[in-house]
Chain A
Amino acid sequence: MLFNSPDFFVFIAAFFILWPILRHHNGSRYLYLILASFVFYGWWDWRFLSLILLNGIVSFSGGLAVAHFPRFRKSLLITSISVNAGILVIFKHLDFGIENLNWLLEVLGAGRHINPARLTLPLGISFYTFESMSYIIDVYQNKLKPTRNIAQFFAYLSMFPQLLAGPIVRAGDLLHQLESAGSITEQQRWDGLQLVIHGFFKKVVIADNIAVMVNSAFAGPVVNNSSIYWWLIMIMFAFQIYCDFSGYSDIARGLAKWMGYEIPLNFNHPYISPSFREFWTRWHISLSSWFRDYIYIPLGGSRTGKVRSFVNLWVAMLVSGLWHGAAWTFIVWAALHSFYVSVERITDWPNRLSCIKGGRHLAVLLVFLLACVAWVFFRAQSFTQATSILSVMFSFKNISWNIARNSISVTSLLCLSVILLRELYFHLRLDQTNWITAKVNTAAQPVIASIMVVLCIILRGPGEAFIYFRF
């Protein structure tokens, strides 16, 4: 079920009618959450509920077994992770493997061809698999006591707000919250509502309107040979994916607040980062911290010498690329970011640049533009398309503004300006300035929220699924 579909509004209204009644008792709370989450997920395709069930049963029983059989804890951990990661790899990466194998067979002249499996990618599989894996690893590392209540575990694993596109909530953050009904104050309801409204605004107004231009640019061969056009398209895509994904996270966090729970922040204005190291502490925080805690640090992190720390960094980033999608373009995207971070570590250029006047702003701009270059690989349909786009971008030909203006709609440009100004507002730290008194601020907030609701309705773009659903 999409957050931006009419079905969801009916679903959520029905959910919150019964939630205040059923949330007070542990059993009814867990069962109601599981039931609602399964309806939410099964609305798309109920058959794939079996995968969540399998994933959950393996992790739940694995967690208990790891705690009860200390002698076999390592093999139990490996088995549990292998099953869950195996399911993920089969559904997500099997065809990518077959495609590469076919290429290899062709190069070797084996004369054989393996047909792709063409399996449907279950929605949210990457997210709930990583949640269940974090649970068993935390139990193994004695950071978490395994729950004995399977209903509580499934309420955590399948909790609908973050089920399809994150944030990847760790069991340590949510399981203990689920043990109680959670207090819901007026402030919490208000914060939740604001998050939901902001999330929808980012998704349906900004991302969906920008998507029209971006989708048409990437729909076929690279026809437009204007450098400024492609730079503009890439800047648009950077904000499209940011608004799309952070919009989903905001809605998820807002809904959780209404339920009485806290989900950690997933995006913290990533495009105002003056370095790539900071960028990765602001972009998809739940995923980057997952890779840091479960791949980078276990590999030795930065404690094992300079060269090894670079290797660890590249491994963690490349796996992150593969997590996003089974294509070489995603691996190149991840490799570019690994390269950016590596160069940054060696040269420390952001800090050096920040020493000069206006250097911090320049660093932010550079990081943003380099991120846009990497996004080309993330968004392109193929490697060939990506290289064609990059060659146009860096040819600096046809930089006349008129060419770009004629090809880009006013609505998309306006939406881009809105989000650019918003990020600039935070970059210049204007949010920390006391523009108005607290009293005026309190009175203005509901008015601003209402205006945003109306804008979400009348300026919504063509309904699109959230981008991260496909990951």
Chain B
Amino acid sequence: MPEHLSKYRCKAACQKILRERPFIVAALSCLLIFAVGLTRNPEVKGVYEGRFWLMKFHWRSCADVVFAGDSRVCSCIHPAEMNRHLPGLRILNYAFDGVGYYKEYLEAIPKVLDSQSKRKIIILGITPRSLATSAITNDYYKDSKRKTKYHSNAILTSLDGLLQFLQPMALREIFYMPSPGKNQQHFFRNYSRDGWAGRYMVPEEPGALIDPYRETFIRNQVSPETINGLLECVRKWRNAGVEVYGFRPPTTSEMLEVERAFSGFDEEFFIASFQAAGGVWLNKADQTIYRTYDGSHLYPDAAEAFSRELARILSDSLNKKSTGQECNETGLLQAAMM
């Protein structure tokens, strides 16, 4: 075929394709999606929100230090920040929103630890809600279990940016760009690969969760069975050579008061039982100095500060332990050895 004829045919074919309306729709849609993606509200950052929990759910044999607990732990433990004081340790935040210390979750925690690790550490964030019966009904751990495997597929991991682009938007998010100054509430979330969820609200609502927690605790108090199950696991982990620590995640004084008055949680008794089971209690002198956005969860910068502080306390404790010292400091650190 002569060259000019071949070129002509090729050109004609291209023109034919370009005239196809489905092609025009596909091209135009891609452009529009891209444009919307560029202008969309940056409320959600980091790992694709729909898969953040699934990613955590599927962690196996990949950490030296594992933090466990509910949303308060999820928000306040920033592993990357802790690594500055604890270099060389692989730290993961294995906390899930709404989770309770029920059997299934407790069994999953040590599986995140690398069996080849020289020092295996589990750190439990203890909140009355994670020990109450209500926390056991619905949470992101169980929700992740229900979802199919392809959500956590490695191929999809590389498509995070694209998935973020295609994520659904609430109406308020759509109207965020033209009117950012309006009095609308926005919930900013940054999901890290190490399991930390840095979150905050604008404008903040310092008392938002006080009443809901009070109502929750009136209906569902701390369950002795859950505590016993947890302490049993602590014993088991200690016998297996795992170091177990516990701490109370920081929150507001109002929330502490609600928890003290309505949850049925006796902190002193719990700490004594925890220590008797072989755990080490890491205690900050003042839990209420950190800023929260909803009366319960820390702002990301407060979480970073708390993580640094906790890393320092933990580092001291680990050093003392490795040099065989008994740790009985009071004040800023109150770590009790078994």
Please report A residues at the B interface, Cβ cutoff 8 Å. Answer: 6-7, 186, 189-190, 193, 197, 410-411, 414, 445-447, 449-451, 453-454, 457-461
A193 touches which of B19, B21, B166, B171 (Cβ 8 Å): B21
Task: List chain B residues, Cβ under 8 A from A447.
Answer: 28
Query: Can you list 29 residue pairs at the A/B interface with Cβ under 8 Å?
Result: A7-B150, A186-B20, A186-B21, A189-B20, A189-B22, A190-B21, A193-B22, A193-B25, A411-B170, A414-B171, A445-B21, A446-B21, A446-B24, A449-B25, A450-B24, A450-B25, A450-B28, A450-B32, A453-B29, A453-B33, A454-B29, A454-B33, A458-B40, A458-B167, A458-B168, A458-B169, A458-B174, A459-B168, A460-B168
Is B261 close to A, CB under 8 A?
A: no
Report how far A446 CA is from B32 CA in the complex, Å: 12
Inter-chain contact A457/B22, CB cutoff 8 Å: no
Inter-chain contact B171/A411, CB cutoff 8 Å: yes
Category for how many chain B residues contact A: 20 to 34
Task: List chain B residues, Cβ under 8 A from A7.
Answer: 150
Report how far A6 CA is from B150 CA in the complex, Å: 10
Task: List chain B residues, Cβ under 8 A from A189.
Answer: 20-22
Task: List chain A residues, Cβ under 8 A from B29.
Answer: 450, 453-454
Is B218 close to A, CB under 8 A?
A: no
A-B complex: 7 closest residue pairs judged by Cβ atoms: A450-B28, A453-B29, A446-B24, A454-B32, A450-B29, A190-B21, A449-B25
Task: List chain A residues, Cβ under 8 A from B21.
Answer: 186, 189-190, 193, 445-446, 449
Task: List chain A residues, Cβ under 8 A from B168.
Answer: 457-461
Q: Hey, what's the 0/1 contact readout for B169-194 against A, CB within 8 Å counting as 1?
A: 11100100000000000000000000
Report how far A291 CA is from B28 CA in the complex, Å: 44
Is B36 close to A, CB under 8 A?
A: yes
Report how far A193 CA is from B21 CA in the complex, Å: 9
Q: Hey, what's the 0/1 contact readout for B134-157 against A, CB within 8 Å counting as 1?
A: 000000000000000010000000
In the complex, the chain A residue whose C-beta lies closest to that of B151 is A6
Report how far A459 CA is from B168 CA in the complex, Å: 5
Report how far A459 CA is from B28 CA in the complex, Å: 18
Chain B contacts with A in 4-34, Cβ cutoff 8 A: 19-22, 24-25, 28-29, 32-33
Inter-chain contact A457/B25, CB cutoff 8 Å: no
In the complex, the chain A residue whose C-beta lies closest to that of B156 is A6
Say how far B148's CB is from chain A's closest CB, in angstroms.
Answer: 9
Report how far A414 CA is from B172 CA in the complex, Å: 12
Inter-chain contact A459/B169, CB cutoff 8 Å: yes
Say how far B16's CB is from chain A's closest CB, in angstroms.
Answer: 9
Report how far A390 CA is from B28 CA in the complex, Å: 47
Inter-chain contact B28/A446, CB cutoff 8 Å: yes
Report how far A447 CA is from B171 CA in the complex, Å: 22
Inter-chain contact A410/B171, CB cutoff 8 Å: yes
Most A Cβ at <10 Å: residue of B29, B36, B166? B29
Task: List chain A residues, Cβ under 8 A from B150.
Answer: 6-7
Most A Cβ at <10 Å: residue of B24, B25, B28, B40? B25
Say how far B156's CB is from chain A's closest CB, in angstroms.
Answer: 9
Report how far A460 CA is from B167 CA in the complex, Å: 9
Known: A6-B150, A411-B170. A451 touches B32 (CB 8 A): yes
In the complex, the chain B residue whose C-beta lies closest to that of A447 is B28
Task: List chain B residues, Cβ under 8 A from A190.
Answer: 21-22
Q: A414-B171, A451-B32 known; 12 other A-B pairs, CB under 8 Å?
A: A186-B20, A193-B22, A445-B21, A446-B28, A454-B29, A454-B36, A457-B166, A458-B167, A458-B174, A459-B168, A459-B169, A459-B171
Most A Cβ at <10 Å: residue of B20, B32, B33, B174? B32
Task: List chain A residues, Cβ under 8 A from B19.
Answer: 186
Report how far A6 CA is from B147 CA in the complex, Å: 13
Say how far B17's CB is from chain A's closest CB, in angstroms.
Answer: 10
Task: List chain A residues, Cβ under 8 A from B174.
Answer: 458
Report how far A449 CA is from B22 CA in the complex, Å: 9
Say how far B153's CB is from chain A's closest CB, in angstroms.
Answer: 10
Task: List chain A residues, Cβ under 8 A from B24.
Answer: 446, 450
Chain B contacts with A in 22-77, Cβ cutoff 8 A: 22, 24-25, 28-29, 32-33, 36, 40
Task: List chain A residues, Cβ under 8 A from B171.
Answer: 410-411, 414, 459
In the complex, the chain B residue whose C-beta lies closest to that of A446 is B24
Report how far A449 CA is from B40 CA in the complex, Å: 21
Task: List chain B residues, Cβ under 8 A from A459.
Answer: 168-169, 171
Report how far A295 CA is from B152 CA in the complex, Å: 50
Task: List chain A residues, Cβ under 8 A from B167.
Answer: 458
Report how far A79 CA is from B32 CA in the complex, Å: 57
Task: List chain B residues, Cβ under 8 A from A457.
Answer: 33, 166, 168
In the complex, the chain B residue whose C-beta lies closest to that of A189 is B22
Inter-chain contact A446/B25, CB cutoff 8 Å: yes
Inter-chain contact A458/B36, CB cutoff 8 Å: yes
Report how far A137 CA is from B28 CA in the complex, Å: 48
Report how far A186 CA is from B24 CA in the complex, Å: 12
In the complex, the chain B residue whose C-beta lies closest to that of A191 is B21
Report how far A451 CA is from B31 CA in the complex, Å: 10
Report how far A446 CA is from B27 CA in the complex, Å: 10
In the complex, the chain A residue whose C-beta lies closest to that of B31 is A450
Report how far A197 CA is from B26 CA in the complex, Å: 11
Report how far A6 CA is from B171 CA in the complex, Å: 24
Say how far B178's CB is from chain A's closest CB, in angstroms.
Answer: 15
Task: List chain B residues, Cβ under 8 A from A411.
Answer: 170-171
Say how far A453's CB is from chain B's closest CB, in angstroms.
Answer: 4
In the complex, the chain A residue whose C-beta lies closest to that of B21 is A190
Report how far A459 CA is from B171 CA in the complex, Å: 8
Task: List chain A residues, Cβ under 8 A from B169.
Answer: 458-459
Report how far A457 CA is from B33 CA in the complex, Å: 8
Q: Hey, what's the 0/1 contact readout for B206-226 against A, CB within 8 Å counting as 1?
A: 000000000000000000000
Report how far A53 CA is from B268 CA in the complex, Å: 66
Report how far A230 CA is from B182 CA in the complex, Å: 32
Report how far A215 CA is from B22 CA in the complex, Å: 36
Report how far A197 CA is from B25 CA in the complex, Å: 10
Report how far A394 CA is from B150 CA in the complex, Å: 48
Task: List chain B residues, Cβ under 8 A from A449.
Answer: 21, 25
Say how far A375's CB is from chain B's closest CB, in angstroms.
Answer: 26
Inter-chain contact B20/A453, CB cutoff 8 Å: no
Report how far A197 CA is from B29 CA in the complex, Å: 12
Most A Cβ at <10 Å: residue of B19, B22, B169, B171? B22
Task: List chain B residues, Cβ under 8 A from A445.
Answer: 21
Report how far A450 CA is from B32 CA in the complex, Å: 8
Report how far A190 CA is from B21 CA in the complex, Å: 6
In the complex, the chain B residue whose C-beta lies closest to that of A462 is B168
Task: List chain A residues, Cβ under 8 A from B33.
Answer: 453-454, 457
